[in-house]
Amino acid sequence: MCPHVPFLERWNRPLVPAKRKDVDRMKITLKDGSVKEVNKGISVLELAKEISEGLARNATCAKVNGEVKDLRYNIKEDSEVEILTFDNSEDGKKAYWHTTSHIMAQAIKRIYGNDAKLTIGPAIANGFYYDFDVKENISSDDFEKIEAEMKKIIKEDLPIERYSLPRDEAIKFMKEQGEDYKVELIEELPEGEEISFYKQGEFTDLCAGPHLMSTGKVKAVKILSSSGAYWRGDEHNKMLQRFYGISYPKASQLEEYLNMLEEAKKRDHKKLGKELELFMIAPEGPGFPFFLPKGMVLRNVLEDFWRDIHRKNGYVEIKTPMILNEELWHRSGHWDHYKENMYTTKIDGIDYGIKPMNCPGGMLVYKSKMHSYKDLPIRAGELGLVHRHEKSGELNGLFRVRCFTQDDAHIFCLPEQIEEEISRIIKLVDEVYSIFGFEYTLELSTRPDDSMGSDEQWEMAEGALKKVLKDLNMPYELNEGDGAFYGPKIDFHIKDSLGREWQCGTIQLDFQMPERFDLTYIGEDGEKHRPVMLHRVIFGSIERFIGVLIENYAGAFPTWLAPVQVKVLPIADAHVEYANEVKARLEDVGIRVEVDDRNEKIGYKIREAQLQKIPYMLVLGDKEKEAGAVGVRSRKDGDIGAMPIDEFIAKVVEEIDTFAK
């Protein structure tokens, strides 16, 4: 007995059971590989606090065993956990933006009441939107008033609570609120699925989350624009009003983003495409772009570059028809999985499909002759024009069109060649993007719900892609369930000069098409075997890639890409003859050149050439004519001064040959 503690006091102490590690404690593996032992049932937020107070302050949600979860989520077993913030992950941003969409919806409901009915309000790639069925259209003049109410809600720092209701109670609750669209959404949820709500103050919304812990966690907000949007994207449904917005943890981040938007407006490819006479879209063909002479030069340069680099990498080029009969599209699976996006026609009373993809035609090319294992791999490239039915409200310049040219290639290989071929493609994509100065990230998309093929084939395909990425030491994001219906894929997201990301290149591993088209080769054993097929694009769509290039360079293309590389500017009529001689010299070595022989002042001609974003202007007067030289002005460096014509030609040719940026 301890002599310092009275017996009765010791006797009356409550008994504290010893901790049972196997019941009350669990192990959490963090992203850096470290392991923490914590109490079972700990919330994500409590775990973040145990790691660091700073992390807990900045946390927006978490990944628990690969699934995005609320900070409220209680972890009940050994798990892998990654705490997400606005700055360290896209999912972290989305939780932040999704919460802000609810704040905007609450503000609009406070101002307009039942004259604004709720529909949906997700986070998107850059910010969020919320769709409302409004009694009267809300003007952009009202944005300031809505933003002021949003800031008030943020200042109130309302706790955000999550709860669930049984199906009948959820429907009853939303009917009482007069939210008919929410009732429709609940009624379509599968039986037994949890119906969750998030509440902040007087505002409650049907939502799966995740969300921040309170409205006060959001800092800087801005409503960007509004537009029309059909309910559920169906043009037969009611037109709603969609409000787009953005938010950031810091006012400086918001200001930086708004400045980027202003710069993006100046770079808008639709505006520059018209000013630089590159392309047009006529009302007679919405979604079907016309390429003008200068645009065709740019396009042809890109296609020539594509052909040259593919020839050097062991590709052959093919061309397949745009229209093929319905039976082919049934065989490929497109009729069942893609028919709503296809254009169809009848020929001789038989249904035909206008191709939305090039791959079925590539199958027929492979089947046109017998192949030996010695022939493989076969790398067949195609600049193939495809047509897809896009809704009119989704059309957007060259970014979203109804006909476009895919820089497709289909690689038929032996199973043991899969990893080598994927590796070759990744290296080729890297080479192409580096020439344009693009950085990129990778995303691996896995088996979707509507997939074809066996579990074994999908596991093998996904495993092969993961192994190559690991062997090349290339980090990637995992996008569960977003693969093509015939196979998993790697997507390349390029980053432009404004930091915006564009999905362009892709690699898809396909065990299904060779099966459906009964593709074979004769193996070493003299028997027939099934080849494996890889689909891949680098530009993705020539049209869309041109749109990206226009905005990336703000129309000021590097010399090798510029439709007009040199503009010759004679000062007076007496210098026009010499200007034409210079033009001929440049054309002899393949430089694209124009002469501005208008009866205008030289200053005006220079300004015009600058507006057309010509890389080089050659000013020719008496001194240049007598010396056989040219006065060089560079778009990038300004007035360079007089230069012998041969020296100038060598300079430009080197820029073209080295793809100088």
Kindly list the catalytic residues: 359, 388, 406, 408, 410, 489, 535
Write out the H or E segment, with its range, that includes residue 67: strand 67-69
Give the orientation angle of helix 542-553 with respect to helix 293-312, to 10 degrees: 110
Measured at the CA of 319, the angle between CA 314 and CA 320, to 5 degrees, comes to 130
Write out the H or E segment, with its range, that includes residue 571: none
Handedness of CA 639, 643, 649, 652 (dihedral sign): negative
Instruction: Classify residue 86 as exposed, middle or buried by CB count within 10 Å of its CB (0-12, 13-18, 19+).
Output: buried
In angstroms, the first-to-last Cα distance of the chain is 85
Residues pairing with 570 in the sheet: 620
Measured at the CA of 306, the angle between CA 302 and CA 311, to 5 degrees, comes to 150
> Is 496 in contact with 459 (CB distance < 8 Å)?
no
With a CB cutoff of 8 Å and minimum separation 6, the contacts of 8 are none
**Tokens 């609570």 belong to residue:** 161
Q: Give the C-alpha separation, 149 to 567, whole Å.
A: 55
DSSP symbol at 156: H
Alpha helix ranges (H) inside 189-343 = 251-266, 269-275, 293-312, 326-332, 334-338
Q: Which residue from 189, 68, 164 is spatially nearest to 480, judged by alpha carbons?
A: 68
Q: Give the C-alpha separation, 169 to 452, whole Å.
A: 39
User: Which of helix, strand or coil describes residue 316?
Assistant: strand
